[in-house]
């Protein structure tokens, strides 16, 4: 059974068509790549799936429920997490506070519990702290829990953002260029981390990434989008040899020579 079905999504910004009749299916526990040249519409597709934008046409079905047009926090609460191409971190918060804050967003304490520390509130607080520490350990940054996040290296900040997404306890994780700006060593570490998240937690992953070697190694299925249109999809070997994909990246004139 498919975990995510994207059906003929279309989106316009004013008179500009950003995405056109885009469809995608992701099975539970699978890693799926979404690639294409700069400006192809990849992040817009993420935004349509996660409720940042409401599509002009088409629909999104997650775990058998249509979520088209729902607010982002409602979609996240259903088990769909994401990271962003540009880091969305708070300047003066610690690593641990970032991860705990993400979990708070999914739990309603009520005013009495929030202000007076009811037994329920204390139990939930302990569970949130334990879960956050467990995620930081998995991502190899537990020793940085009390550090202010903006004082840390860029590669570590990327891990913090991933931990925050995982704190929502998602079934599907959308990663938008998680290795942008990383050194080769950080890249290898992130690849191994993504493998662990997929293998140990059983999460399905939809990955946007410009590093083709990484996508080909990690993903069993790949979709290629150009100017908002899906031009190819299939296994890595098929995508590597697809003339339409080669032309999209290198240009028709280059391929013809």
- For residue 234, what is the domain's CATH number? 3.40.50.300
Is the CA virtual torsion 46, 51, 55, 61 positive or negative?
positive
Domain count for the chain: 2
pLDDT at residue 83 in the model: 94
Give pLDDT tens digits for 69-105: 899 999 999 999 999 988 878 888 999 999 998 887 6
**How many helices (H) and strands (E) are present in the chain, helices listed first?**
11, 10
The reply to whether 143 and 203 lie within a common domain is no
The reply to whether 144 and 95 lie within a common domain is yes
Three-state SS at 81:
strand
Give pLDDT tens digits for 3-60: 999 999 999 999 999 999 999 999 999 999 999 999 999 999 999 999 999 999 999 9
Q: Calculate mean pLDDT across residues 184-213.
A: 94
pLDDT at residue 254 in the model: 43
Q: What is the value of pTM for the model shown? A: 0.90
Give pLDDT tens digits for 153-188: 988 999 999 999 999 999 999 999 999 888 899 999
pLDDT at residue 255 in the model: 45
CA pair distance 42, 33, nearest whole angstrom: 11
CA pair distance 171, 147, nearest whole angstrom: 29
CA pair distance 215, 72, nearest whole angstrom: 26
Provide the domain limits for residue 100.
Answer: 87-169
Q: Calculate mean pLDDT across residues 129-152.
A: 93
The reply to whether 165 and 176 lie within a common domain is no
The reply to whether 71 and 188 lie within a common domain is yes
CA distances from 56 to 5, 21, 23, 134, 139 (A): 17, 10, 14, 40, 38
On the 0-12 / 13-18 / 19+ scale of CB atoms within 10 A, 63 is middle
CA pair distance 42, 50, nearest whole angstrom: 13
Three-state SS at 123:
helix
The reply to whether 200 and 250 lie within a common domain is yes
pLDDT above 50: residue 111: no
CA pair distance 97, 132, nearest whole angstrom: 9
CA pair distance 169, 220, nearest whole angstrom: 23
The reply to whether 30 and 110 lie within a common domain is no
Q: Can you read off the two tokens belonging to residue 77?
A: 């609460």
The reply to whether 69 and 103 lie within a common domain is no
């Amino acid at each position: 059974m498919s975990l995510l079905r994207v059906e003929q999504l279309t989106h316009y910004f004013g008179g500009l068509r950003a995405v056109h009749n885009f469809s995608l299916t992701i099975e539970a526990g699978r890693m799926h790549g979404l690639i294409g040249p700069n400006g192809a519409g990849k992040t817009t597709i993420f935004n349509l799936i996660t409720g940042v934008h409401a599509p002009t046409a088409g629909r999104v079905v997650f775990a058998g429920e249509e979520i088209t047009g729902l607010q982002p926090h409602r979609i996240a609460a259903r088990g769909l997490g994401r990271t962003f191409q540009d880091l969305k971190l708070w300047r003066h918060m610690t690593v641990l506070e970032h991860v705990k804050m993400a979990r708070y967003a999914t739990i309603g304490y009520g005013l009495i519990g929030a202000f007076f520390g009811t037994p329920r509130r204390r139990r939930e607080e302990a569970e949130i702290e334990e879960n956050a520490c467990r995620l930081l350990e998995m991502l190899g940054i537990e020793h940085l829990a009390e550090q202010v996040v903006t004082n840390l290296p860029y590669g570590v900040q990327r891990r913090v953002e991933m931990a925050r997404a995982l704190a929502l306890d998602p079934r599907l994780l959308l990663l938008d260029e998680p290795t942008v700006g990383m050194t080769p060593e950080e890249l290898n570490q992130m690849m191994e981390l993504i493998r662990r998240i997929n293998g140990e937690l059983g999460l399905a992953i939809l990955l946007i990434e410009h590093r083709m070697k990484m996508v080909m190694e990690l993903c069993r299925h790949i979709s290629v989008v150009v100017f908002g249109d899906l031009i190819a999809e299939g296994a890595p070997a098929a995508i590597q040899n697809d003339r339409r994909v080669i032309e999209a990246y290198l240009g028709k004139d280059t391929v013809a020579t």
